[in-house]
A and B are shown apart, each in its own frame.
Chain A
Amino acid sequence: MTATANTAMSKAEEREARRRAKRLKRFDSPWMNPKLLWGAGILIGILLFGFFGRLLWDPELVFIGSAPLNLPPLGFENLRGDGGSTAHPLGTQSSGRDILALLIVGAPNTLFIGVIASLIGMAIGIVLGFSAGFIGGRTDDVIRVIADVMITIPPLMVLIVFQTSIGEIGIVMMGVLLSGFMWQSPTRLIRAQVLSMRESGYVRMARLSGASTFDIMFKEMLPNLVPYLFGSFIAIATTAIVTAVGLETLGLGPQRVPTLGRVIYEAIDSAALLRNMWWWWGIPTALLATMFIGLLLVNLGLDEVANPKLRKV
């Protein structure tokens, strides 16, 4: 009896030890750190909300006049005493747009602007950063000075002037415009990393073996910078989204295509605060805050991947 009990206990301990080892192994990978997982989970959740939302909800409700005006969310009342409706569970705004539809279409659009700006900014930053760091000399001087000068120019100010002069723009154009202010940081970061990697053994070896500059830069060195590049990508995507939301909240940017910033602008412009229409500005603001928390967590998580000193023992 005792022996059987002992055997059962040792098996249970063994199982527990194996489970613990498996868990440790799983979290041994720096890519599986909780910040990164939580952040990625939030962002994926927003994207899925947009994707499945379009399948389950009518995206046409984002357009003017597609719903009754000023309805509160289900379970609430507006200033006139009208109650919410199941047809518009998060309420509607004063032009007859459905808030849920605006979130479903607007949130991915807001993220999309950041991704476009970040992708283009990163691509430019990688080319310029590698060229400056690896080639050096005059190339480095020119790129460094341009990046240093450009980084001092406040993007919001320039973009306001630009947008007011060209009129309405679309989502892609907005991303492209923002990318003009998103390449400087990755350029500087990559240049600094390349300068320190340039004299590494594997780079010298590649050079001795006759590899071309392009191959050394993009086949040998680039893979070693992947965590930095991811981190940088998320950081500039965050900056791009903040800038885009800033422009949209001022009434600039895409007009017919909904974004979260545009929804907030319309709420401010129509005095939603005074009219107690909290659902109009509050829900998109909460979603934006969630999006930024997700981006911050991903950024912190990627920092841990790139910098082992930040990992908890």
Chain B
Amino acid sequence: MGRRGKQLVLGALGVAVLLALIAIPYRDPMSGDAPIAREDTVIFDLDRSIKNPRNFNWLTPGVKRLHGAHQAMWEPLFVLNYANGELEPWLGLSIESNASHDVWTLVLRQGVEWSDGEAFDADDVEFTARMLMDSDAISAREAIRFKAQVDDVEKIDSHTIQFRLKQPNPGFHIENFGVLNFSSFLVMPEHIWRGQTVGSFDFFPPIGTGPYTFSSATSQRAIWDRDDNWWGARAGFLELPAPKRLVWIETGGQENRAQLLRSNQLDAGQHLALGIFEAIQARNPNVVSWHDGFPYSWTDPCPRQLEINATVEPWDNPAMRKAIAHIVDRQQIIDIVYEGSTVPSKTMFVQYGAMQPFIDAVVDAGYELPTRANLEAAHAIIEDNGYSMGDDGTYVKDGVPLTTRILANTASAETTGTVDLLVEQLQRAGIDARSVPVEDGVFWGEVIPLGDYEMSYSWLSCGSVNEPWASMVRYTNNSMAPIGERAPGYNNTGRWDTDATDRYTAVVNRIGQLSLGDPQIPGLVAEAYRELDAETPFIPLVQAAKVLSFNETHWTGWPRANDFYVHPMHWWNSTHLIIHQLEKADGGP
């Protein structure tokens, strides 16, 4: 072969290698496996990024569950269904207490298996319970709550476990095992976790008992594929759900979420501003929400509120906190941020029907929150505390202006919008307020639990939906952590701890020992609320109206007001009920 021939051969080889390199598709080691058609896939919205996609230890700080882990893979023991108020059995079959509500017996369903084929039984529950009780490294609210309540756990037989509580609690089963809100006690596989250090184990790859198994995850999306060998179908519990794949994607801002819904690239969306939802529906009628018409929204069980750090001057003074409460104009928040789609909070509680007796008790006692601001009262309090109005319209005391910083979690436009408006209301009243945007992971992972804020916008009295204790206990000083240490379960993050807190705590603890429906409870709620009204450790604002979008182009069967089989929060552990109801829009298998 001549020189030219060799050159040709080498050139051809080079081109061949290049073509081969191009032809071999790059394979992300964490990407999903076999391609699954869009028609068989349900795409859910994730309003935040996945900080650590290779960590499924939900007990440790910063590890999330709402990217499918507790909607598709980890099943709950029970689900409190807001639609009918019943505690629906899932992995658990029954749970009953003794007469004094301090010993609870849980019976598990037979035939449940982990996705790796191991049996799910009382050993797993007992192991998880002991892990929560013994570890100091856990931070998840559900884990903290369980640890605070349970004194001992004992396996009775392979499917029966008994919990002995530190003090009587008639609501123990709902609070801990019923997905009261967001999540619940999640059972972990003993055969994987045994011998691991709770604080450092990353539980990757994860397994669960749910009908979907983990496929892949990045910081922007997580993929879960249907396990056709799911125990539930074999045991006759439920049929296999119709979707073959579930995907959670981080959508970013409202604009992006809206475009994805409009173009049928998203099936279940997080909250959108009312005007944006109307604009999408005008272009894509398959996008629906809870109601068919105004206000479209579902009332989230976590009313919005302004948290105040009671250890930071001048907000350590209850009178100054009261002044802030007078400045807040709830109706303006409703008109501007929610475009009229919600109502002002009358108390700290969500305004569901079951909560009405307790709300009425507070209102009758004279502690109902006003809808409009009372600036005169606010000015009087501030001036009584030594401040005078400066030339620039800001209060000053000893030459120091009255300022505050309100933290806003940037994950939600609803949050930033409300905080901007609160800043405006405070500014107009003479307080030099500023909004401080904080990234979601830092907000929930650092500043809120550590108490590193002056004021923040959140929903930390969230808890009660049919009784008052779950919300009220969050502001007791039962388990106070000093500033700089994590507030257990995000409770009382503002560190309200005065004589009034002691009185409040004593009454709330009494409520916790009474059975649901005890006639003494409304009166005790009003008695405890007297301390909240007097010291204002936080300021309830409005009921949270969520305009959640569901796209019926590919999937139908979403929960809606006219088909209310379960509550529609698709980032909660109760999403298992939704997934099993989904059907292909074209009626296919």
Contacts and interface: CB of A to CB of B under 8 A. Distances in A.
Given A65-B332, A65-B421, A276 B279 contact: yes
A273 B405 CA distance: 32
Contacts of B259: 274
A85 interface: no
Interface stretch (B33-41, B161-169, B250-258, B482-490): B250-258
Given A167-B437, A168-B434, A273-B255, 12 more contacts: A65-B332, A69-B339, A79-B282, A95-B420, A167-B405, A255-B420, A256-B427, A269-B413, A270-B413, A271-B254, A271-B279, A276-B279
Contact of B278 (A64, A79, A168): A79
A184 interface: no
Contacts of A18: none
Contact of B435 (A94, A168, A276): A168
A64 B275 contact: no
A268 B255 contact: yes
B382 to A, nearest CB: 21
30 contacts: A63-B428, A64-B336, A65-B332, A65-B335, A65-B421, A69-B275, A69-B335, A70-B275, A94-B273, A94-B275, A94-B339, A96-B336, A167-B437, A168-B434, A256-B435, A268-B253, A268-B255, A269-B254, A269-B413, A270-B273, A270-B276, A271-B258, A271-B273, A271-B276, A274-B255, A274-B259, A274-B276, A274-B279, A274-B280, A275-B276
B276 to A, nearest CB: 5
B462 to A, nearest CB: 26
Contact of B258 (A79, A256, A274): A274
A154 B192 CA distance: 48
A256 to B, nearest CB: 7
Contact of B253 (A64, A70, A269, A275): A269
B272 to A, nearest CB: 8
A271 B423 CA distance: 23
A144 B276 CA distance: 52
A95 B436 contact: no
A84 B462 CA distance: 41
A234 B275 CA distance: 41
Interface of B: 253-255, 258-259, 262, 273, 275-276, 278-280, 282, 332, 335-336, 339, 405, 413, 417, 420-421, 423-424, 427-428, 434-437
A273 B423 CA distance: 27
Nearest to B282: A79
Nearest to A79: B279
B417 A95 contact: yes
Nearest to B262: A274
Interface of A: 63-65, 69-70, 79-80, 94-96, 167-168, 251, 255-256, 268-271, 273-276
B254 A275 contact: no
Contacts of B258: 271, 274
Given A167-B436, A255-B435, A269-B254, A95 B336 contact: yes
A83 to B, nearest CB: 17
A256 B423 contact: yes
A63 B276 contact: no
Contacts of B413: 269-270
A65 to B, nearest CB: 5
B215 to A, nearest CB: 31
A260 B405 CA distance: 25
Instruction: Name the residue in B255, B336, B421 with the highest tally of chain A Cβ atoms < 10 Å from its Cβ.
Output: B255
Contact of A271 (B255, B282, B332, B420): B255
Contacts of B262: 274
Nearest to A167: B436
A70 B428 CA distance: 23
Contacts of B254: 269-271
Contacts of A271: 254-255, 258, 273, 276, 279
A226 to B, nearest CB: 39
Interface pairs A-B: 6 shortest CB-CB? A271-B255, A275-B279, A64-B424, A271-B276, A274-B279, A167-B436
